[in-house]
Amino acid sequence: MKHKLLGLIFSSILILVPALLAAQVVTPAPPPLSARGYLLIDQQSGRVLASKAANERLEPASITKLMTAYAVFRALESGQMELSDQVLVSEKAWRTPGSRMFIEVGTRVSVELLLQGMIVQSGNDASVALAEYVASSEEIFADLMNQLAAELGMTETHYVNSTGLPAEDHYTSAADIAKLAQAIITEYPEYYRWYSQKEFSYNDIKQPNRNSLLWRDPSVDGLKTGYTEAAGYCLASSAVRDGMRLIAVVLGNRSEESRARESQTLLNYGFRFFETRLLYPAGGAVTEARVWKGSRELTELGVKDDFYVTVPKGSYDQLEAAVDVPARLMAPLDPSQQLGQIRVVLDEQALASADLYSLTDVEDGNFWQRSRDTVLLWFE
């Protein structure tokens, strides 16, 4: 059953409406890039707008610290720790090679400062200090990172350390990094602001954020760079323009300039040729359906979460929505039951879908209502 999408108001009458005649929207192919793997997605809808080897296992270098931060954010959210907690810096953390926050062994540093030192300065020493504080050792913390990766559906990811320093069996993919970035942005906006911080000072040493897009493009507000000789130059970036947020991931670039330029190219491509619309708000009615033997004959069906769709610019009015609901819904119903699905189609190609739920409880009907519907069903 299909109905035409008209602005943000949708018919609840499930009949076929002829598609409007419109000029075909032409969207150019994504620009070719030199990165070994990359991905461009819309944050809200999750639609992939450009990709190359997005599921290939590659070394992430310091982009690993996105998961280190996510694990710390989880610990903060659960009340296991506070931003003001003072972390004793171990010799291992102090001796960790690579980029540094310049914390000193035997001193105590707050979780908040360590997070900024890791996010802004990419401090490997800060990463290890946080890992040891959360899980008592970096090895146990890596197990926690892998558990969280599995929970987020990061199927091509395995962590060995909290820093991204080269290690056997330490890998991820552009697609998995994008999933992680989505989770950080959605779940922890209060901490995400640190990813747009251009510089940070600790121990009288000021260091700039290595994400040069923060200076080039005011719409960019994150996320994380990475570099090792084996991984090449990597960058996970995100930007917002006119309420539309995109996430770009490039892995294995040849230079710092190349990773910035190609990330900017991806973001510009997405913003130039696509738009994202809210089709159905969470808890809003999509349609209504007949309920048999219930305390009420009709119930409204809707989605649990805001339902967004990303389409080529100029094609929104050509969308069609197909609603699939069982012919017979029998009481009782409650809002936790998945009762159907809404699918959005453009040019006969499925773009997105969402499960439908009853927006209210429907209890068993009284004796008269059940008896009446039993008779009516005989003639159905």
Average confidence score pLDDT of the chain: 89
pLDDT band at 12 (very low <50, low <70, confident <90, very high): very low
Summarised one tens digit per residue, pLDDT across range 245-291 is 999 999 999 999 999 999 999 999 999 999 999 999 998 888 888 87
Residues 196 and 48 in one domain: yes
Summarised one tens digit per residue, pLDDT across range 329-357 is 777 878 888 888 899 988 888 888 988 98
Q: Which of 243, 273, 303 is the last residue of a domain?
A: 273
Give domain status of residue 233, yes or no.
Answer: yes
Residues 134 and 196 in one domain: yes
Residues 323 and 346 in one domain: yes
Query: Domain containing 161 — which CATH number?
Result: 3.40.710.10
Residues 121 and 77 in one domain: yes
Residues 182 and 322 in one domain: no
Give domain status of residue 28, yes or no.
Answer: no
Q: Residue 371: what pLDDT?
A: 75
- Give how far Cα 205 sits from Cα of 103, 208, 369, Å: 11, 10, 76
Least confident of 50-54, 216-220, 328-332: 328-332
Tally of structural domains, the chain: 2
Give domain status of residue 308, yes or no.
Answer: yes
Give domain status of residue 42, yes or no.
Answer: yes
Q: Is the pLDDT of residue 5 over 70?
A: no
Give domain status of residue 30, yes or no.
Answer: no
- Rounded to two decimals, the pTM is 0.87
Residues 230 and 299 in one domain: no
Q: Which of 273, 307, 326 is the last residue of a domain?
A: 273
| pLDDT, average across residues 3-19 | 36
| pLDDT, average across residues 228-248 | 97
Residues 130 and 212 in one domain: yes
Give domain status of residue 93, yes or no.
Answer: yes
Percent of the chain with pLDDT over 90: 68
Residue 374's domain comprises: 2-23+281-378
Which residue numbers are catalytic? 62, 65, 122
Residues 47 and 126 in one domain: yes
Q: Residue 9: what pLDDT?
A: 32
Residues 62 and 17 in one domain: no
Query: Domain containing 359 — which CATH number?
Result: 2.60.410.10
Give domain status of residue 80, yes or no.
Answer: yes
Residues 198 and 69 in one domain: yes
Residues 107 and 203 in one domain: yes
Q: Is the pLDDT of residue 89 over 80?
A: yes
User: How would you class 200 by CB atoms within 10 Å of its CB: exposed for 0-12, middle for 13-18, buried for 19 or more?
Assistant: buried
The gap between the terminal CA atoms of the chain, to the nearest Å, is 19
pLDDT band at 24 (very low <50, low <70, confident <90, very high): low
Q: Which of 212, 247, 273 is the last residue of a domain?
A: 273
Q: Residue 367: what pLDDT?
A: 82
Summarised one tens digit per residue, pLDDT across range 94-109 is 999 999 999 999 999 9
Summarised one tens digit per residue, pLDDT across range 185-203 is 999 999 999 999 999 999 9
